[in-house]
Structure 1
Amino acid sequence: MSTLQRTPFYQSHIDAGGKLVDFSGWELPIHYGSQIDEHEAVRTDAGMFDVSHMVITDVAGKESKAWLQKLLANDVAKLKTVGKALYSAMLNEEGGIIDDLIVYLMNEAETKYRIVSNAATRDKDLAQFNKVAAEFDVELTERPELAMLAVQGPQAVAKLKQAKPEWTETLDTIKPFVGADLTDIEGDNWFVARTGYTGEDGVEVILPGEQAQAFYSLLLENGIKPAGLGARDTLRMEAGMNLYGHDMDETTSPYECNMGWTLALKDERDFIGREALVNKRKQSKEDGTAMKQVGLLLETRGVLREGMTVTINQGTDNEQTGTITSGTFSPSLKQSIAIARVPATLSDEDSVQVDLRGKGKFVDLRVLKLPFVRNGQKQFD
């Protein structure tokens, strides 16, 4: 029997009353008593999530930029200033998504970068990193000794400034999707970035593991509420953000999961999966098999669940189907929501339904453009 891994915040979770579960081989809190309260704290005030299970990989070498331009579907040449972040898919040769990740530019010479990728895909990510790196002068260093804490919500930055007044100038300076080295303030291996997975303002802090519990306690003292995996999932769903292994995987094209905007295709850069991606996109449009991602809202009672079949124009000659890739009850909307993959031809005139209980009783769904909620506000009428 394999032993679950623990993050540097493990004791902090125990002390805060966290209910710990197995998440991709890590012992992490699902909640601290009330998932709904934790969700609401992030939407209206400030909450914090342990994301130390994420994989941090530092990249160095004179061909670091070229390696990343080969590896990723988005182009790190877009990173013009130190600390700037880029969201990208990493594709396989068939144009499917191995993982989605964030890469930061760490020096002006463009010889140092930092990648933050998903825990559940660690082994295959690192295998792909190293496979492609064999052709480049680049050195990859995984950083398991570092901890990572997401501090999210409309009051997150204000409360972080209260806890760490010496960070005020830095926090006032960094814009969304930009990070800053805190070495001069905190010592080695402290980094803060205006990123997150909730649809709210906030930051993600990378820090030495041995200083994690003290930092957690300080944030608790300044009114930042612990939040678990349950709230993280409902928050990201309301924000229309994908979860790897659910809304996308190695069989999914970025075009099928609302990630087409991350593809840098304007020049001739030869990244892995490009040719297959472009060819499949063209073919699917021609043969009518193209899919797209939408949001679904259930305006009656019930809960939409992953794996449910979405039926379009049920009972007609034009009947088609799609699939719910993530579904939940939305604490902010007090209704059930879902992220779904449906035929790209779906229009406003089409009826969309789901058989909630598998008994042939179809319920109407409302199709919405994602996100459902952003910065605490409902994004539809």
Structure 2
Amino acid sequence: MPQKTVLNEVHRQLGAKMVDFGGWDMPLHYGSQIEEHHAVRRDCGMFDVSHMCALDVAGPDARPFLRRLIANNVDKLKQPGKALYSAMLNESGGVIDDLIVYFINEAHYRVVVNAGTTEKDLAWIAARLAEWKFKAVCIPRRDLAMIAVQGPNARTRFWQALPETRAASEALKAFHSVTVGDYFIASTGYTGEDGYEITLPASKAATFWQALLDAGVRPSGLAARDTLRLEAGMNLYGQDMDESISPLDAGLAWTVDLLSERDFVGKVALLAHPPQHQFLGLLLLDRGVMRAHQKVLVKVDGTVGEGEITSGTFSPTLQQSIALARLPLGVALGDQVKVEIREKALSARVVKPCFVRNGKALI
């Protein structure tokens, strides 16, 4: 049986189409994926992301432990509330999971991991704590729920629902967080739009969800979340990267600190194996829809090579098919390539892997 978030019955009462997503019973949409997508781009939408897991890493060695555990450098976190995106790697340099670390204080960090990898992540972290003998603990906060409020009007609608949080959250810059009473408010998201991700006691989730509904926020499901994140050029674990893929081949080199003397799991492997591919965007020029695992044929210096689409969809904002793809080195922005779709070779243009941000087309 799939696991259920605390809002499961609320989704059903709203008429959501429910699906099994990574072992969780989650809303795919509430009637119209396209309308939910446009609501987030043009106004405001909300997502139940309580299937993801918040972990509290605490103790006097919390910072040195995270410094060694993840590929990005937590020493960048100097201001309480600041957040850092990173990958947690295995010894071969493959991505165990991508995650966000929030700096609460020197002895307390919050780490948010993906739903489908939670048990694997917890086992990996527990093994590293035991191996390295750091004075720290990792506590999964299963008593918490998470709701994302996203869109150009997200802040205003959020303050309508929780006016007592406005003074503390109004000045939040991107990738920062603040705690107001029982609410952990982070200016992060997975849509390319402004907004907050709010972590709160599970017992208060249904009341907060209703307050957002009353403020005019539209419930949105997994389908819209996927088209939004793909338009924004954001990776999805299990599609765009996994334990067999280096972050250097998954467009995540910017999340890896190879310059400092700091050691971390996977660093030796990354230094020994430079990037083998480029991670770029594709815009389909012919009619059709690009999907994951389709083959991409490219020409580099007169030689035909192959790449692969990792995520593809029809963009509701651009009204065109878009994709993220791993392509051979030497492919340049603006190049035309061929994508094999239903035994046809359709034309696509190579673009930067970010198509839409803050409601605006970037290509």
* TM-score, structure 1 as length reference: 0.93
Determine if contact 1:11/1:213 at 8 Å carries over to the other structure: no
Q: 1:247 pairs with 240, 245, 253, which one? A: 240
Bigger mean CA offset, 222-231 vs 117-126:
117-126
Q: 1:296 pairs with 272, 276, 282, which one? A: 282
**Could you tell me how far 1:362 is from its partner in structure 2?**
1.5
Amino acid at match of 2:261: E
| Structure 2 counterparts to residues 229-240 of structure 1, below 5 A | 229-240=222-233
Q: 1:76 pairs with 74, 77, 80, which one? A: 74
1:43 and 2:29 aligned: no
1:112 and 2:108 aligned: yes
Task: Give the distance between the partners of 1:348 and 1:335, measured in 2 at CA.
Answer: 18
**Could you tell me how far 1:102 is from its partner in structure 2?**
0.3
**Could you tell me how far 1:299 is from its partner in structure 2?**
2.1
Task: Give the distance between the partners of 1:337 and 1:297, measured in 2 at CA.
Answer: 5
Amino acid at match of 2:238: G
Q: 1:344 pairs with 310, 315, 329, which one? A: 329
| CA 1:114–1:337: 2 relative to 1, 3 Å | same
Task: Give the distance between the partners of 2:68 and 2:62, measured in 1 at CA.
Answer: 10
1:198 aligned counterpart, secondary structure: coil
1:354 and 2:336 aligned: no
1:313 aligned counterpart, secondary structure: strand
The residue number in structure 1 matching 2:261 is: 268
**Could you tell me how far 1:233 is from its partner in structure 2?**
0.1
**Could you tell me how far 1:351 is from its partner in structure 2?**
3.6
1:305 and 2:301 aligned: no
The residue number in structure 2 matching 1:287 is: none
RMSD value, Cα = 1.3
Can you give the 5+ residue segments of structure 1 that lack an aligned partner in the other structure?
285-289
| Structure 2 counterparts to residues 1-381 of structure 1, below 5 A | 3-107=1-105, 110-134=106-130, 135=132, 136-183=134-181, 188=182, 190-281=183-274, 290-313=276-299, 318-348=303-333, 350-358=335-343, 361-380=344-363
Higher strand share: 2
2:145 aligned counterpart, secondary structure: strand
2:292 aligned counterpart, secondary structure: coil
**Could you tell me how far 1:317 is from its partner in structure 2?**
5.2
Task: Give the distance between the partners of 2:284 and 2:98, measured in 1 at CA.
Answer: 28
1:120 aligned counterpart, secondary structure: helix
1:327 aligned counterpart, secondary structure: strand
Structure 1 runs (4+) deviating above 4 angstroms are none
**Could you tell me how far 1:270 is from its partner in structure 2?**
0.8
**Could you tell me how far 1:251 is from its partner in structure 2?**
1.1
**Could you tell me how far 1:182 is from its partner in structure 2?**
1.2
Amino acid at match of 1:354: V
**Could you tell me how far 1:64 is from its partner in structure 2?**
0.6
* TM-score, structure 2 as length reference: 0.97
Can you give the 5+ residue segments of structure 2 that lack an aligned partner in the other structure?
none
